[in-house]
A and B are shown apart, each in its own frame.
Chain A
């Protein structure tokens, strides 16, 4: 289970990370720009989404159409997304077109045209994206949950806020882009089939002249509210809940990952068994670990009929609490093998690895080898998992529901 990491830091501070993969023809890359939702200036939530569209509407020597055609002609599978800390701009492709794809992306990041006439459609699409979320309560409930769980502004909606999007102007958005698209604070990752010397040379030429920058800190305010209900005359009550736990960078991170797997890792895990198999309360129920750099939680979703919503919530909360009362050696073993299998299977995908090494570097300042992760999972014991759960008990739950009826939150 060996893995190797290529690394280089450009004079500006921009970090290049790579993980070569045997036996693949594809390559995936990702520019993690420090322009995530939490970094947007107050009152501009959604500016990152507008920016991620606007920068592709013409850059370098190409206008909107020519740029789109050039990217398309390379058979790129683009993957642009806004997260809490970063705006990620990347793609997966057949490796023979890599140099051209990187050159086009350097134009997009460094030399976007940002023309006035292209601003309105970019803004309109971002606005419509937020409105569309209203029609997908399963997704919306988790957006609203993150907003309320994480200390503000860390949990801000990564789609944007309607009122703030409406107020965005061309000038304001240009200023935000100028301020946050900081190549010096950008993490570039690549995984799959590539030649690191060639990539480094190309990146040095493209980004070498950028000025060095300084990392910015995000001041936060405590979370607000414990329970929020959003009325919706739909078929189900969509329940989201989240409770605080140890962070990705903490020593007992692997213990909480194992604990979360025992709770909801597979179909034999406790939530699926208790909520769906034994009681038939839900079709969809599941919990997962979610960490930002400075805060983390276990988030859970369940969708159920209005008359079953209260029981569903009560059973879920009871299962969270019951974890610290004891886990069996068999549960621990199943959790470990599940985590190790998914680690190995994800390592077969160039896109997954490009994402994972970037996230490692941002959170830890280094990339964990697959072997290290495997060993750390292996090292967890019933005692270490229980100690972690008892040292960090699930006390408060932030709950959001969307649907025809409310629930009581104890």
Chain B
């Protein structure tokens, strides 16, 4: 659109539903310490309505169309989405468009602070989440990608509605957003509705400084007396979402740390040294990371880490095999097929491909890119990444073993 808002759609007339998403390029990495947590807080506040809609009315508008709707905030994106039956798609798109210009009332802000603080407390009681969050902060140090998405109880207590409104005005510019739609819908009518709602928004200067960061590669451990397992997160530096090696990086993570059949699986889980062991690749804006999660007994943690170090050394020295790569490709390809059969599953890839690359990529494009990866490419990437050096954070009962 003339104001910079991008609309992207992929139509599947055979689908029984449609999905729509408003993708905003803003997240915790776009925050300063004084307003840490504001992106996620705003995500909550957009559900609180506009000058003409109360929060209860917003919820009723979604529910009376049977929408499955929600939103999520990450380090670099805030995404609002809904999956609906085709007959409601335009109305729900219009509703989301309306909500993107929220009232941001003081009393809603004050009440929602309680909810956000409960969300922070809930994740503090979820070590699988907590350890990854802490490890990312440790890994990125002063780099903005280390900012916590939720913020802390202190930063949320200190946050004011004025700060939030100021942040909103800077970040929710049409030229910083993408509206994506998938499934069974009419493209022309979809465009008309978005234009009606969003055509009047004013573009403005908005940026995000991008810098790659190698990571602090420190190790820390926090004792929590109420835990009875050792939860370990490792973060390696990876390649960015704009880097063509991202497909090789995904396949590498699968070879090393898929839930089943990977090196982690055979060396750690199959032998019951660790009860859970996985590695995932996360491509981000201008940077990227691999994160591994391991869960074991505190007594067994030293042996688990020795084994992990050996796995990393071996993959660095000897590389991966042709057979491993073929298996990983099969898994990636079938996952792509299964996920993309649902409009809601397709929506996220469609939106993010535009957010990060400014490109439409079909499912076939992604399939071909994954198929084309060679063992040499993966092994070259491994050597560049140096898997032996990483950031480590552990949570567990008692003193470090």
Contacts and interface: CB of A to CB of B under 8 A. Distances in A.
Interface of A: 22-26, 57, 64-65, 68-69, 71-78, 92-94, 120-122, 124-125, 128-129, 131-132, 134-138, 232-236, 238, 265-269, 272-273, 276-277, 280-284, 303-305, 330, 333-334, 337-338, 340-342, 344-345, 347-351
A341 B18 CA distance: 11
Contacts of B297: 128, 131
Contact of A121 (B59, B272, B335, B338): B272
10 contacts: A23-B14, A24-B341, A57-B270, A69-B327, A77-B338, A121-B271, A122-B272, A125-B275, A238-B125, A348-B343
A337 B260 contact: no
A64 B270 contact: yes
A26 B336 CA distance: 10
B180 interface: no
Interface stretch (B204-212, B221-229, B310-318): B221-229
Given A121-B272, A135-B229, A283-B118, A348 B63 contact: no
Given A65-B266, A235-B121, A348-B16, 4 more contacts: A78-B260, A128-B272, A265-B63, A268-B63
Nearest to B113: A280
Interface of B: 14-17, 47, 55-56, 59-60, 62-69, 83-85, 111-119, 121-122, 124-128, 225-229, 231, 260-261, 265-266, 269-272, 275-276, 295-297, 323, 326-327, 330-331, 333-335, 337-338, 341-344
Contacts of A330: 60, 64
Contacts of A76: 334
A236 B125 contact: yes
Contact of A349 (B63, B118, B342): B342
Given A72-B327, A93-B334, A345 B64 contact: no
Contacts of A75: 330-331, 333-335
Contacts of B126: 136, 138
B300 to A, nearest CB: 9
A44 B226 CA distance: 28
A131 B229 contact: yes
A21 to B, nearest CB: 9
Contacts of A69: 261, 323, 327
A315 B333 CA distance: 48
**Ordered nearest first, which 8 A-B pairs have the shortest CB separation?**
A341-B66, A280-B114, A75-B334, A75-B330, A128-B275, A72-B261, A268-B59, A266-B63
B272 A135 contact: no
A241 to B, nearest CB: 18
A362 to B, nearest CB: 25
A205 B34 CA distance: 68
Contacts of B276: 132
B194 to A, nearest CB: 22
B83 A345 contact: yes
A69 B55 CA distance: 52
Contacts of B229: 128, 131-132, 134-135
Contacts of A344: 16-17, 85
A25 B335 CA distance: 12
Contacts of B55: 277
Contact of B121 (A72, A268, A305, A350): A305
